[in-house]
A and B are shown apart, each in its own frame.
Chain A
Amino acid sequence: MEATDKNAKPKIKMAVYWGSACGGCCVSVLDVHEKLFDVVAAADLVFWPIALDIKYKDVEAMADQEIDLTLYNGAVRNSENEHLAHLLRQKTKILVAYGSCAHMGGIPGLGNFHDRETIFERVYDTTESTVNPDKVRPQTETKMKEGILELPEFYNDVRSLDQVVDVDYYLPGCPPQTERLVEVFMAIVTGAELPPKGSVVGALEKSLCDECNRKKTDNKTIKEFHRPIDIQDDGETCFLEQGVICMGPATRGGCGARCIEGNAPCRGCYGPPADAPDPGAKMMSAIGTMIDSNEEEEILKIVDQIDDPAGTFYRFSLPGSIIRRKIL
C-alpha cells in the first residue's frame, strides 16, 4: 500500500476552517468523492471543525508554519473568525482564501448594507417570530454565578480574509468547483511551480462569457429588465440580450458555466477578472450602456425594474469591493 511505502513523500499537513460561512465550502471539500483517497494519501488533515474534533488549543499548540496548507473559507464577521484567521496565518505556510466569502466577503458580506445595530434590531427585536420584551442582546461577557460566559464579538463590518491577514492565494466560487480544488491541491502536494503570491487560482483569466455557450451578439440593448422567472428563456440566447441581468461578463470563468447550463444567469460568485477590481461597478457601467433610451424619465423607469440592484451587482463582492459597505 502506498501509505506504508517508505519512499513515499512525507504527507503534508492541511487544515480547513470556516469563518462566517454556510458550510458549503467544507462540503465542497468532501465532494472530492473518491479523490478523497488521493487527498488523504497525500495530506494529514490536522484541523477541520466540520469533520474532526480538534480544538482551537490544539492548533495554538502547533509550531509556527507547521501546517502546510490551510483552506480558510467564510468571511470575517466576528472576533472568533478574526482570531482564527490570525492563528492559522501564523501556523500555516500557504493560506488560501477558499470560496467567495473568504475571497471578497460573499453572501455574509451583504451584511455591510447594514450595521451591527440594525442587524441586531432585526434579529432580536423585529422579526415576525421574535418575542423579546426585555430587548436582550448578545453580550461578549455574561456574569453567571458559575463564572463569566463569553461570546465572540459581532463586528460592525464583514471583511474578506485579506482585509484581516496576508493571503497567499484565492480560490473563488460559491462554493469552488471541487475539480478546481483537486487541481490546486495536487499542484501543491506534487511540488509543482506555484503561481505568484496573491494569484487567483482554480479559475480562468477570462470572464465567464468565454466558456458560456449561449449565442452572443452586439445587440445588447435593453428596454426592459426581467427576473429569470418572468421570461420564457429560449435556452440559447445570451441572458443579457433577453433583459435578464447576468454577471457573466464581469465574473471570472472557471466554474464551467454551471448556472448557465442550468438555465440560470450568472450571479458572480467567482469574482472579477484580474483587471476589474470592482465587479459591481464594472457591471453597472456595462448595464448602463445597454439601456436603450436617451430620455431621463424612461431611463429611470427602466432602471427601476432591476430588482435589488445593490444585492444583484455586489452579491458576492461587497466587502472586497471599492465601496466596501454602505455608510449608515
Chain B
Amino acid sequence: MEEKRIGVYVCWCGTNIAKMVDVEGVAEEVGKLPDVVVSKNYKYMCSDPGQELIIKDIKEHNLNRVVVSACSPRIHELTFRKALTNAGLNPYMFEMANIREQVSWVHTDRKEATKKAKSLVTAAVARVAWHEALDKRKVDINPASMIIGGGISGLSAALEIADAGKQVYLIEKEARLGGHIADVDLTFPYMVPAAQILGPKIKRAENHPNIEVFKEAVIEEIFGYVGNFNAEIKANGSESRSLEFGNIIVATGLKPFDPSSVDLHGYGKLPNVVTSIEFEKMLQSGKIETRDGKEPKNIAIIHCVGSRNNDYHEYCSRTCCMLGLKYANQIKTALPETHVYEIYADMRSFGKGCEELYDATAKRKVMFLNFDQREGIPQITKANPGDCCEMLIDMKERLSNTQIEVPADMVVLLVGMEAREDAKEVAHHVGVSKCGNDFFIERHPKLDPVATTTDGVYIVGSCQGPKDITDSVAQARAAVARVLAAICQESGEVEVTPAVVNEDICCGCQTCVNVCPYTAISYDEEKNVSVVNEVLCKGCGTCGSACPTGAIRSRHFTDHQILSQIKGLMRTEMQEV
C-alpha cells in the first residue's frame, strides 16, 4: 500500500471561524497526527490563493490526501475537489471538516469550540486515510423534463422549456392548473388582475405541443439520476404511465397557515373573521360584505398571522404586508366610506413598486396601528349589542403606547405561508432535503439558489420558502436556464457510487436483493453471490447497511471510512477516559 501523505488546511473564514476557534492551535495539534505531512492555517481557504496553497503543497510535498477544515461541504466541497483535480490528484482523496456551521457559529466557549474543532478535523484525517480514488461516469441527458406543480412557477418553467423545443411533463395534483394564484383577484403592487397573468399561461400550457399536462396526478415512484430519471405517474385515476426524463423541477408551492389555532383571533368562532384566502374570493366576486350580507363599516386587517411568532412560525411569509396594503386600496376603492385599519407588527414593503404602494395607501386615510409581537397579539372579541360595530379588537398600540380598542365589522387575517403537508413525500420522491420548516433546501443560499444537492433536481417558487409571484417566476426561469444548459450539453458527469460486491466474502444469503429500492441487485445461482447492476444502482447504500457479511460496500461510504471517522472523532475522548 502506498504511503499515506495527508495535508490539512484549517480555514479562518475571516473572523467567522477564527473568532471562536484557535485555528492555529488546531492546525498545530492536527499536524502531529500520523500520516499528516503538512498542516496549515489560512485566512480564506476557498479564495484563489487558498486553493493555490493546496495545489502547491500537493506538488511540493507529494501529498496524496487532503483535508480542509472550513465551512460546510455543501458550500465548498466541489471547490476543493476541483483544486485536487488541478493538482493531478483524484478529487475523492479529499475530506472536509465543517468547523464553521458545526462549531464557530453555534458555540460560545472558545476553549470547548477549539476542542470540538480538533475532534472533527481528527475525524476527517482518520477518514481520508481510507479514501479511494473514484471516477466519474458520463451519461446522456434525456432532453425531456418533469415539472411537479402547475402553479405560476411550474407553468412559467414549463412554457419556457417547451418554447425552447423540449418536451415537458407537467404534473399537477389538482384538477386544474394555476395553483394559488387562481384564487387571487388583483396582484400587488400594480393591481394587475391575476387572471390576466395566469389565464393565457394556462391556455398555452394546455395546448402546447411540447407540454403534456397530467391533472389529478399522483407520483407513484421516481427513480434514476440526472439525465436518466424514470417515473410512474397516475393521472385522472387512469392507469399509471411510465415517463422518462432528464431533469426535474419541483414547484409544489405552499399551504396557507390555518389560523384556527390562534385562539385570540377567534377564527372559526367569530363569523366575520376571515382569512386572506377567503377575502380574495370576496374580492373576486366583487362583493365585500359580512356573513349576513351587510356592508362592513370598519374593516381591520391583521398582519403576521402565524408568521414571525415563535408559537407558530418564526419566519416572515414575505407577501402578507403587501397583500394587506393591496386590500386597503381595494376596500377604499370599493367602499370609500369604510374605515380600514392595518394592524401590523412591522411593515415590510421591500421590492420594486412596493414602498410606493405603501405610501399611496397611507394617503388614502387608512389607519396604521402597530403592535409588538413580543407583548402579545391583538385579541378579537364580539362587541356588545349597543356598540357601533360587530367586533372589538383589543391591542396595545406601540407608537402611542396606549391600550386601545379598534372597532371592526370584518377582520381579515393575513395568514402566512407554510410548507405543504406532502412536502416529505415529495422530498423523498426526488431526493431533496427539507429545512426545519419543511421547505426544500437549495444547494447554496446565495450562489446556487434553485439547484439542490441532487443533480438534475431543481426547486422553484414557494416550496423553497415563502415568495411572491415575481420571485417565483424569476426562480422558475433561473431553473429553466440550468435545465436547458444541461440539455444542450447532451451528456453530464455523475458520481460513480454504485455498490460493489466482494465475491470472496458474499455468502449468497440474498438479504440485499429485496432491500434494493431500484431492483438493481440479483442473485447469481452459479456463483452463489449477489450481483449489482451498475446502471440501475443509484448508490443509496441501503444494501450496504443491510449486508450482514460486509461483502457489499457503498463506495465513498465504506465501513472502514465511517468507523475510522468515528474513532477519530472519539480520539480525544478516549484518551481522557
Contact = CB atoms under 8 A, between A and B. Distances in A.
A99 interface: no
Nearest to A219: B514
A285 interface: yes
A208 B514 CA distance: 20
B443 to A, nearest CB: 30
B546 A285 contact: yes
Contact of B523 (A206, A218, A274, A322): A218
Interface residues of A, number: 33
A275 B511 contact: no
Interface in A216-233: 216-221
Interface string A192-222: 0000000000000111111000001111110
A220 B511 contact: yes
A320 to B, nearest CB: 14
B514 A218 contact: yes
B550 interface: yes
Nearest to A253: B507
B563 A277 contact: yes
Contact of A209 (B507, B515, B559, B563): B507
A208 B502 CA distance: 16
Interface string B530-572: 0000000000001001111111010000010001000000000
A272 B550 contact: yes
Interface in A274-308: 274-277, 279, 282-283, 285-286, 288-290
Contact of B559 (A276, A283, A286): A276
> Which one of B513, B549, B559 has the highest number of Cβ atoms from chain A below 10 Å of its Cβ?
B549
B509 interface: yes
Contacts of A253: 507
Contacts of B548: 207, 249-250, 276, 279, 282-283, 285-286
A273 interface: yes
A249 B511 contact: yes
Contacts of B559: 275-277
B108 interface: no
A273 B515 contact: no
Contacts of B515: 289
Contact of B505 (A238, A274, A279): A274
Given A221-B514, A289-B514, A322-B563, A216 B547 contact: no
A42 B251 CA distance: 79
A286 B507 CA distance: 14
A155 to B, nearest CB: 15
B506 interface: yes
A120 to B, nearest CB: 23
A248 interface: yes
Interface residues of B, number: 25
B507 A206 contact: yes
Contacts of B528: 210
B576 interface: no
A289 B505 contact: no
A206 B506 contact: yes
A253 B507 CA distance: 9
Nearest to B503: A206
B505 A249 contact: no
A277 B551 CA distance: 12
Nearest to A238: B509
A322 to B, nearest CB: 7
A187 B553 CA distance: 33
B510 A220 contact: yes
B509 to A, nearest CB: 4
Contact of B547 (A206, A221, A240, A286): A286
A276 B549 contact: yes
Given A274-B550, A275-B549, A282-B547, A205 B504 contact: yes
B508 interface: yes
Nearest to A290: B511
Interface in A302-328: 322
Contacts of A249: 507, 509, 511, 548-549
A216 B510 contact: yes
Nearest to B515: A289
A216 B508 contact: yes
Contacts of A207: 505, 507, 509, 548-549
Contacts of B546: 285-286, 288-289
Interface string B74-105: 00000000000000000000000000000000
Contacts of A205: 504-505
Nearest to A220: B511
> Which one of B508, B513, B528 has the highest number of Cβ atoms from chain A below 10 Å of its Cβ?
B508
A248 B551 contact: no
B540 to A, nearest CB: 13
A174 B220 CA distance: 50
Contacts of A250: 548-549
Contacts of B508: 209-210, 216
B505 A220 contact: no
A248 B548 CA distance: 9
> Which one of B505, B509, B515, B550 has the highest number of Cβ atoms from chain A below 10 Å of its Cβ?
B509
A283 B493 CA distance: 36
Given A220-B511, A285-B546, 13 more contacts: A205-B505, A206-B504, A207-B505, A207-B548, A210-B528, A221-B514, A240-B509, A250-B548, A253-B507, A275-B502, A285-B548, A286-B546, A289-B546
Interface of A: 205-210, 216-221, 238, 240, 248-250, 253, 272-277, 279, 282-283, 285-286, 288-290, 322
6 contacts: A210-B508, A218-B510, A248-B509, A249-B548, A285-B545, A289-B515
Shortest Cβ-Cβ A-B pairs, 5 listed: A275-B550, A276-B550, A218-B513, A209-B507, A249-B548
